[in-house]
Amino acid sequence: MSEAYIVEALRTAGGRRGGALKDWHPADLGAQVLNALVDRTDIDPEAVEDVIVGCVSQVGEQSFHVGRNMVLASRLPDSVPAVTIDRQCGSSQQALHFAAQAVMSGTQDVVIAAGVESMTRVPMGTPFILPAQAGIGTGPWTRRILGRYGVTEFSQFTGAEMMAEKYGFSREALDRFALESHRKAARATEDGAFDREIMPVAVVGENRKERLHGADEGIRFDASMEALGSLKTLKEGGTITAGNASQVCDGASGVLVVSERALKAHGLTPLARVHNLTVTAGDPVIMLEEPIPATRRALERAGMRIGDIDLYEVNEAFAPVPLAWLGEIGADPERLNVNGGAIALGHPLGASGTKLMATLIHSLHTRGKRWGLQTMCEGGGIANVTIVEAL
């Protein structure tokens, strides 16, 4: 089987809801990533054989095939095809898996995997809310599905509370993890750790003056346990708050995946080699703990142990997710989300997969490390795991 290589990995800086990226149409924002991937690698745009885009809320400005619209808004020729996929929060991580599989199969040599989500312009839940408001249909879950699992709905917020209770995490423990996420992200920003992975975009700032947006807006540089502790829990008697959950975020990200043949033909330098691609599914009610069995399967299939992995990116959808993962996998906390995670940096849903991969790959290079693992909890009780080798 052929190898798949990542030759560039980029992301926009996160924009808070109603923040710096609010005026960017998601197709235009995603197009900026496509352009940057081509520009930074100096590859012929016509060599791109497919663009695979992850997006969760495919309605409104993200409807009617946002992946294809990103291509049409970019400098890629209109002969480049695209496809838009939804694996919930893991959408662009799955886009990377599909791109790597295409290259590894030998059917394609140059594929872009990307993701986009404007949570300002297309709020989370819109695909479900709009039909309900219009009185159309009965929602995504049939009586048969709900009856099978004995619930009235599937909720990530319920799943997060269930995880905190199952694994015995107190509100204080979750807030302390959140505080560390902000501190690590603040330190990484001040040290320039994100400079290589962030692709600045023009935005309109104060006094209607244009500026470049190149720093994540969600980081609270003055975060404290006192401030986090003052936030209300999402449900009475619960542990989950807006402070120990991921932030609503606008953003786009992408990676360029190529074969060894393309490396030689286009004079490209690989950043990483894709070593393992795993996806599993389990309980859709608790939903968010699937990264644990998915990681076990990925390590087993790769013939590795968690101690072999130098850095891990585990999406901080809610603080209990990475905390439970750490304990159950027996991982080293010092290798986890070393530059902070979604609690501080934001979680732009469909863009988070390749966003985390950009951070992981560049962190491996900066620290002189070799092996990285990324995993993401996803709606419906699914999880992707990707293991890469930095080159």
Residues marked active site are found at 89, 347, 377
What one-letter code names the amino acid at 336? L
Residue 280: how many other CB atoms lie within 10 Å: 18
In whole angstroms, what is the distance from residue 195 CA to residue 4 CA?
A: 25
Q: Are 46 and 88 in contact (CB under 8 A)?
A: no
What one-letter code names the amino acid at 182? H
Q: How many Cα atoms are found within 13 Å in the side-chain-facing hemisphere of 159?
A: 24
Spatial neighbors of 310 by CB under 8 A, at least 6 apart, are 335, 364, 367, 369, 370, 371, 372
In whole angstroms, what is the distance from residue 155 CA to residue 379 CA?
A: 8
Torsion (CA) 311, 316, 317, 322 in degrees, nearest 10? 70
Tokens describing residue 378: 């996803």
Q: In terms of Cα–Cα distance, which of 308, 374, 365 is closest to 336?
A: 374
In whole angstroms, what is the distance from residue 384 CA to residue 302 CA?
A: 14
Tokens describing residue 310: 């130098």
Question: 43: exposed, middle or buried (C-beta count within 10 Å: 0-12, 13-18, 19+)?
Answer: buried
What percentage of the chain's residues is helix, strand, coil (to nearest 5)?
A: 40, 20, 40
| Three-state secondary structure string covering 106-117 | CCCCEEEEEEEE
Q: In terms of Cα–Cα distance, which of 45, 108, 112 is closest to 83?
A: 112
CA–chain centroid gap for 316, Å, is: 10
Tokens describing residue 358: 């950009």
Residues composing the chain: 391
Helix ranges (DSSP H) in the chain: 26-41, 66-73, 91-105, 126-133, 143-149, 156-166, 171-190, 225-229, 260-266, 291-302, 320-329, 342-345, 352-367
